Copies of this chain bind each other. A is one copy, B any other.
């Protein structure tokens, strides 16, 4: 008896996960985390109106979700000031990135550009569809638009991944830089502008981009500022031709009906969103304070997390991180040098950050003594 014959590409891939989930770590530790500050989720939760809408929609979850996502698409178009034809909705940005990579990648002759140390799930999809990935270095803890564009021109890249604000560093670029980047996209390339953390930027700092511009797709999500990571709702804003192309490959009935309802309710509750953003700002400041109290430097952040420079190399930062994890705090860190001198802490409730404040000195001391 033989099993399936996989494609050569799939045979060559490792079974992997872009991120190990905190639940996996909890099962390994045999206990739960005291503070969940590792995945840039919003501990402030979804709006109570979202929770109510999802609870109500649960009764109707015997029905498939509308495959056109009509109501949410209309609401998003109004919210973003674009036409519904400019909006694609999918199973988180992760799901949409997978579709997009698939749409342009047939094999190693298709070249993709990103920054070394940027979002691993994008890389996972590129590997999964067999594209050739080119990575350029961060510059001063920022993604480097000039280097990304230069590499894209050099390799005739099909996609250029660029996150603003950036994850994992929290850095960002002025809107004029991003707008100029769009203008410089080489012919035949598409700029993948990941704005998962865009809601944390002041609206006037977000780039103005013509939604009919065929050179760029912007991705946004309900996972971060709206506190709905577990609902799996992301969306893209792009030219109608590109939006339509998603309908060639996407899982049309892939959206949870409860999540659709929750996202519509979230858009209706701007006051809650503003309140969350305020709480995130406070938490980011408090994390900076905690870092300073421990002689460390928090990097400026325009997102709902902070990269703390631990002042030495990646092995040291990893030891600090391990110390925090051992003390019940879920945190993550950048993968690549020199950014991996940092640990990355998500915004938390005051109580979460007190747990951090109490644990960090011990974790640092242990890392310094190698204990």
Chain A interface residues toward B at CB < 8 A: 1-10, 13-19, 21, 23-24, 27, 36, 39, 41-46, 50-51, 54-55, 57-68, 70, 91-92, 94-95, 98, 102-106, 110, 121, 128, 158-159, 187-188, 190, 213-215, 223, 227-232, 239, 241-242, 244-245, 247-249, 251-259, 262
A236 to chain B, nearest CB (A): 12
Q: Report how far A51 CA is from B59 CA in the complex, Å.
A: 6
Chain B residues lying within 8 Å of A1, measured Cβ to Cβ, are 187, 213-215
Question: Are B248's CB and A128's CB within 8 A?
Answer: yes
Chain B residues lying within 8 Å of A63, measured Cβ to Cβ, are 36, 39, 41, 229-230
Question: Are A10's CB and B214's CB within 8 A?
Answer: no
Question: Are A70's CB and B27's CB within 8 A?
Answer: yes
A-B CB proximity, top 5 nearest: A230-B257, A3-B214, A55-B55, A54-B58, A61-B230
Chain B residue with Cβ nearest A58 = B54
Question: Are B58's CB and A19's CB within 8 A?
Answer: no
Chain B residues lying within 8 Å of A102, measured Cβ to Cβ, are 10
Chain B residues lying within 8 Å of A13, measured Cβ to Cβ, are 248-249
Q: Report how far A137 CA is from B29 CA in the complex, Å.
A: 55
Q: Report how far A24 CA is from B73 CA in the complex, Å.
A: 13
Chain B residue with Cβ nearest A230 = B257
Chain B residues lying within 8 Å of A110, measured Cβ to Cβ, are 7
Question: Are A64's CB and B39's CB within 8 A?
Answer: yes
Chain B residue with Cβ nearest A222 = B61
A219 to chain B, nearest CB (A): 14
Q: Report how far A104 CA is from B62 CA in the complex, Å.
A: 32
A265 to chain B, nearest CB (A): 10
A367 to chain B, nearest CB (A): 28
Chain A at the B interface: SS class: loop
How many copies of the chain does the oligomer comprise?
2
Q: A7-B105, A9-B106, A10-B249 provided; 20 other pairs, C-beta below 8 A?
A: A1-B214, A3-B215, A3-B239, A3-B241, A6-B103, A8-B106, A13-B249, A21-B67, A21-B253, A24-B70, A27-B70, A44-B62, A45-B62, A46-B59, A58-B58, A58-B258, A60-B230, A61-B229, A62-B230, A92-B253
Q: Name 8 A/B residue pairs within 8 A (Cβ), A-sorted.
A: A7-B104, A24-B66, A58-B58, A61-B262, A62-B230, A91-B254, A92-B253, A232-B255
Q: Report how far A50 CA is from B41 CA in the complex, Å.
A: 25
Question: Are B253's CB and A65's CB within 8 A?
Answer: no
Chain B residues lying within 8 Å of A249, measured Cβ to Cβ, are 10, 13, 128
Give the residue among A1, A24, A245, A247 with the most B Cβ atoms within 10 A: A1
Q: Report how far A15 CA is from B61 CA in the complex, Å.
A: 27
Chain B residues lying within 8 Å of A92, measured Cβ to Cβ, are 251, 253-254
Question: Are B91's CB and A62's CB within 8 A?
Answer: no
Q: A91-B254, A230-B65, A254-B94 are in contact. Are A5 and B70 (CB under 8 A)?
A: no
Question: Are A103's CB and B27's CB within 8 A?
Answer: no
Q: Report how far A251 CA is from B121 CA in the complex, Å.
A: 9
Q: Report how far A59 CA is from B52 CA in the complex, Å.
A: 9
Question: Are A254's CB and B232's CB within 8 A?
Answer: yes
Q: Report how far A188 CA is from B21 CA in the complex, Å.
A: 34
Q: Report how far A244 CA is from B14 CA in the complex, Å.
A: 10
Q: Report how far A215 CA is from B215 CA in the complex, Å.
A: 45
Question: Are B3's CB and A242's CB within 8 A?
Answer: yes
Contact of A158 among B5, B223, B231, B239 (CB under 8 A): B5
Q: A4-B158, A103-B4, A254-B232 are in contact. Are A58 and B59 (CB under 8 A)?
A: no
